[in-house]
Amino acid sequence: MFKTVTLLFLFTFPVMLQAQESKRARDYGVKIGVMQTGLLNAITDVAGVKVGQTTLIKGDSIQTGVTAILPYDGNIFQQKVPAAIFVGNGFGKLAGSTQVNELGNLETPIILTNTLNVSTAMDALIDYTLNEKGNEDVRSVNAVVGETNDGFLNDIRGRHVTKEDVLSAIKNAKDGRVEEGSIGAGTGTVCFGFKGGIGTSSRKLPESLGGYTVGVLVQTNFGGVLEIDGAPVGKELGKFSFSDELLNNVDGSCMIVVATDAPLDHRNLLRLAKRAIIGMGKTGGIESNGSGDYVIAFSTAESLRVPYTVKQQIINNPVLQNDAMSPLFMATIEATEEAIINSLFAAKTVDGRNGNKAASLPLDKVIPILKKYNRIEK
């Protein structure tokens, strides 16, 4: 027993240490956008939202994991939340998307993992839902699982994520600070030719505009020409898609999860989701042919939750009017852009399978570039 505990400690300690040492873009003076962030500048600034992660690192060949996003603490199947999914580029395997857009709601936690473990995560989500108290008669579950392909660093063919790993991420989900970088579903991802990962950010609207919060979490694994707050970082570094020193495979994917407490129905959540792709574009992402770029947006507003069993035929719930959407659009764009940049700032260099390596963003070179373009005070 003592040896087992010791080995587990040695396995998890480097991940914990990395999370403690990670700095975000704002820690270096990079302030993306003009809107106010939430208290934590994270998706968990949306009240009730929880994030859990399982990280799998074994030697160099296994670099993968799971990230779980829970809209609120309760039985999501019995009290579904309004939701919508937008497809930026559909080269991906987002399970459960058609029912979400058909019915306009989400009935399970959202799971992010690697491409070849989508079915494993679905199986775990089904188990989780069927075993929830009150779901004894449930016979259909729309498990929502997103993915990116981490096969450059990870032995993806080994399909090392288990149902227990997924259930652990759900069980350990919590509010508060969200760990970023090479963790959870972002353990083996690569972005703009550098180490990508999990990133998050939020925006808080002033009370005059409703006081609503928008939070974003991303799993970054895509390419393009990196820009940080408008500064042409990728061009200055000479490392970008289709350059002579191309180390940046443009194919990959980006999963984007947008949460808000604004009372939005499916139609306006879909409009909100579309704006997240603008935020991705502002970082230099090009949505390449082989990229699966998806946005899952949901509202936590209790007044709009959809009960599994509905007795009345007509539902009359107050929703935000169209004219009030523009500030939320802007908040989504800014938070998505910053979440992607945070994933890069937080990620550390990873040595992966077959000698493959993803170096961290060279901040010693990036910070002077940002100062050159007046994105950081000199």
Instruction: Tell me how far apart the alpha carbons of residues 40 and 343 are, in angstroms, rounded to a whole number.
Output: 15
Q: How far is CA 357 from CA 73, 189, 254, 339, 360, in A?
A: 38, 11, 20, 23, 10
pLDDT at 199 over 50: yes
pLDDT digit string (tens) for 297-337?
A: 999 999 999 999 988 888 889 999 999 999 999 999 999 99
- The one catalytic residue in 22, 293, 299, 343 is 293
Closest C-alpha among 198, 201, 196 to residue 180: 198
Where exactly are the structural domains of the chain? 29-309+324-372
Q: Which of 108, 174, 148, 116 is nearest to 254 (CA)?
A: 148
The answer to whether residue 210 scores a pLDDT higher than 50 is yes
* Catalytic pick among 97, 291, 299, 343: 291
Taking the C-alpha atoms of residue 198 and residue 181, their distance in angstroms, rounded to an integer, is 5
Question: For 345, which DSSP code?
Answer: H
What is the model's pLDDT at position 251? 75
Per the annotation, the verdict on 364 as an active-site residue is no
**Three-state DSSP state, 178:** coil
Please, which residues have CB within 8 angstroms of residue 18's CB and are 6 or more apart in sequence? 181, 182, 183, 348
| Non-local CB neighbours of 290 within 8 Å, separated by 6+ positions | 91, 250, 251, 252
Task: Answer yes or no: is pLDDT of 277 > 80.
Answer: yes
pTM above 0.75, yes or no: yes
Check 253, 288, 299, 343 and give the catalytic one.
253
CATH class entry, domain 29-309+324-372: alpha beta
Distance CA 336, CA 330 (A): 10
> Is the pLDDT assigned to residue 19 strictly greater than 60?
no
Which of 59-63, 80-84, 200-204, 251-255 shows the lowest per-residue confidence on average (mean pLDDT)?
A: 251-255
CB 197 within 8 Å of CB 315: no
Question: Is residue 141 predicted with pLDDT exceeding 60?
Answer: yes
- Is the pLDDT confidence value at 14 over 70? no
Q: With 80 as the cut, is the pLDDT of residue 287 above it?
A: yes
User: Which residues have C-beta within 8 Å of that of residue 130, sequence separation ≥ 6?
Assistant: 138, 141
Q: What is the pLDDT of residue 311?
A: 84
Residue with tokens 């500030």: 327
Task: Give 96's pLDDT tier (boundaries 50, 70, 90).
Answer: very high
Q: Report residue 61 as tokens.
A: 């060949």
Are the beta carbons of 126 and 170 closer than 8 angstroms? no
* Spatial distance between the Cα atoms of 361 and 356, rounded to a whole number of angstroms: 16
201 annotated active-site: no
Residue 180 has pLDDT above 90, yes or no: yes
Tell me what pLDDT residue 10 has: 34
